[in-house]
Structure 1
Amino acid sequence: MSEYHRVWDPLVRLFHWSLVGFYSFSWLTGGEWNGPHKISGYIIAGLLTFRVLWGLVGPEYARFSHFVRPPREVFGYLKDIVAGRERRHLGHNPAGGAMIITLLVLLSLTAFTGWLQTTDRFWGEGWLQDVHGVLANSVLVLVVAHIAGVFVASRRHGENLARAMITGKKRAPAEDDHA
């Protein structure tokens, strides 16, 4: 058995880091630099569309069927984290899978409310601008929680998950890991 196992394909990694960059740019330019902000929002919408399609037809670890778990499993995994007995997962763990779905949904709603503001029907609607801002800020809160989860899992399981999202490789599964 090799020391490392390829988990994240190049398209998942490119999607992830592109989304990081474009969301950061969009969040920082919201309300200040309208033209580039809109372009970035359209790019994010395209990235999200790609990720949903890739989640249906991509390789094993990219597929939703591999990491989307029922709420019972997600909450059980969270309880295991608190108790310090969570199993290492080669792909996304149940909490990470739930985070991905939540981020995809909130980012999609953020992009959608941004686009709605460009239509004649909703141009200049203050309430929609407020909803868009709340969604964008909610994504930021989830990003912070995501980073904290990556940090905790990296420490607990002795591997650098951020590096794995760059290289695509994680430590090969041990006997008690969930592959």
Structure 2
Amino acid sequence: MAGPDIKVWDPLVRLFHWSLVASFAIAWLTADDWRDLHEWAGYAAGALIAFRLLWGFAGPRYARFSQFVRSPGTIARYLGSMLRGGEVRYVGHNPAGGAMIIALILCMGGTALTGWMYTRDAFWGVDWVLATHETLANTMLALVALHVLGVVVASLRHRENLARAMVVGRKRAPGIGDVA
């Protein structure tokens, strides 16, 4: 029996999330064949990252960095409890999810920045810029795979569909032992 649910992810967080998914997918798929579309998808990703940085300070409770950015020790303890199968449920992002958000923001921001740099005359043909861009894009793909794996694991462990929550914005209300 499902309990009551609460609003967690605001519309702008959800729009940001799925728009970033789309812009990264488009940029990844068009990297070799459609330069203009690839660049515009990169610009969109960069703008989305800039928005998310602002929203991390000005947005509602669960969008704020202060709600989900945790210390390395807290993240390590949470990952250890996950390995033992005893992690607590978080209504917002858990410590591992919070760390993943920061990693994704940094990696996508760096990918967008180096992509933009490569379009400028000052950096056109500069090997380290292109190499860094490609490395960050490949790292981003690996982070996305880890992110999806984490969402699946957390969804199964806590018996809630986290992907659905990022569409509708609602999650199960906190219960005993959950971190609100």
Quickly name the TM-score band, shorter chain normalised.
over 0.9
Matched with 2:128 is 127
In 1, Cα distance between the equivalents of 2:156 and 2:88? 13
- What is the CA distance between 1:126 and its match in structure 2? 3.0
In 2, Cα distance between the equivalents of 1:27 and 1:75? 31
- What is the CA distance between 1:105 and its match in structure 2? 0.4
Name the aligned partner's letter for residue 132 of structure 1.
Answer: H
Counting only pairs closer than 5 Å after superposition, residues 133-148 of structure 1 correspond to structure 2 as 133-148=134-149
Pair 1:80-2:115 in alignment: no
Pair 1:170-2:161 in alignment: no
Matched with 2:57 is 56
Q: Secondary structure at the match of 2:178?
A: coil
Matched with 2:159 is 158
Q: Secondary structure at the match of 2:152?
A: helix
- What is the CA distance between 1:32 and its match in structure 2? 1.8
Name the aligned partner's letter for residue 132 of structure 2.
Answer: V
Name the aligned partner's letter for residue 127 of structure 1.
Answer: W
In 2, Cα distance between the equivalents of 1:110 and 1:31? 16
In 1, Cα distance between the equivalents of 2:148 and 2:70? 20
Matched with 2:112 is 111
- What is the CA distance between 1:127 and its match in structure 2? 3.0
Q: Secondary structure at the match of 2:93?
A: coil
In 2, Cα distance between the equivalents of 1:72 and 1:127? 34
Q: Secondary structure at the match of 2:148?
A: helix
- Summarize deviations over 1:76-103 as a string: whole Å, max 9, x none: 0000000010000000000000000010
Q: Secondary structure at the match of 2:6?
A: strand
Matched with 2:26 is 25
- Summarize deviations over 1:139-161 as a string: whole Å, max 9, x none: 00000000000000000000000
Structure 1 runs not aligned, ≥5 long: none
- What is the CA distance between 1:31 and its match in structure 2? 2.6
In 2, Cα distance between the equivalents of 1:41 and 1:20? 12
Tell me the C-alpha RMSD between the 2 structures: 0.9
- Summarize deviations over 1:33-81 as a string: whole Å, max 9, x none: 1111111111111100000000000000000000000000000000000
- What is the CA distance between 1:120 and its match in structure 2? 1.1
- What is the CA distance between 1:175 and its match in structure 2? 1.2
Between the aligned residues of both structures, percent identity stands at 53
Pair 1:14-2:15 in alignment: yes
Q: Secondary structure at the match of 1:31?
A: coil
In 2, Cα distance between the equivalents of 1:8 and 1:155? 20
Q: TM-score, structure 1 length as denominator?
A: 0.97
Moved more, 65-74 or 28-37: 28-37
In 1, Cα distance between the equivalents of 2:24 and 2:148? 15
Q: TM-score, structure 2 length as denominator?
A: 0.97
Name the aligned partner's letter for residue 106 of structure 1.
Answer: C
